[in-house]
Amino acid sequence: MRVGRWFAKGDGLPSYFSQYITVALIGLAAIGMVGFMLGAGRIIRPSNPSADKSLTYECGVDPIDGNWAQTNIRYYLFALLFVVFDVEAVFVYPWATMMRSLGKSGLVEMIVFIGILAMALLYAWKKGILAWD
């Protein structure tokens, strides 16, 4: 049995596992720093609780007459358009990195994909969704 393969010369720890000691020490230091910063912030910050600070606040709408407030549908449409074009970016960037290996079929598929998204953008523009009144 070869002991020298698993153990570094001079110390009793396996050389493979001795690298994890460094990772563990850095992890403990990071946890300690986070704990120290949160504790220092709790000690230093002012604490002035009031009834106004306990109110629900979301998107600039004050909670008047209950918890429900009507929101304009345009916000949801903008969010939907954002999601559509965000998904487009998720597909276009990896395609751009692998474009040469995909060949002509990959190019045609991406042109069709971008064409469909362009039609969706034209439809939203025609319906006036992008116009802000």
DSSP string, the chain: --STTTB-TTSSSBHHHHHHHHHHHHHHHHHHHHHHHHHHHHHHS-----TGGGS--BTTB---SSS-----HHHHHHHHHHHHHHHHHHHHHHHHHTHHHHHHHHHHHHHHHHHHHHHHHHHHHHTTTT---
Across 44-60, average pLDDT: 77
Show the tokens assigned to 103. Answer: 């060949």
Across 116-127, average pLDDT: 87
- With a cut of 90, say whether residue 29 has pLDDT above it: yes
**For residue 115, what pLDDT band results from cuts at 50, 70 and 90?**
very high
Cα diameter, the chain = 81
Give the pLDDT score at 18: 75
CB 109 within 8 A of CB 98: no
- With a cut of 60, say whether residue 4 has pLDDT above it: no
Is the pTM for the entire model greater than 0.75?
Answer: no
> Domain coordinates of the chain in residue numbers?
1-47, 71-133
Give the pLDDT score at 1: 45
- With a cut of 60, say whether residue 98 has pLDDT above it: yes
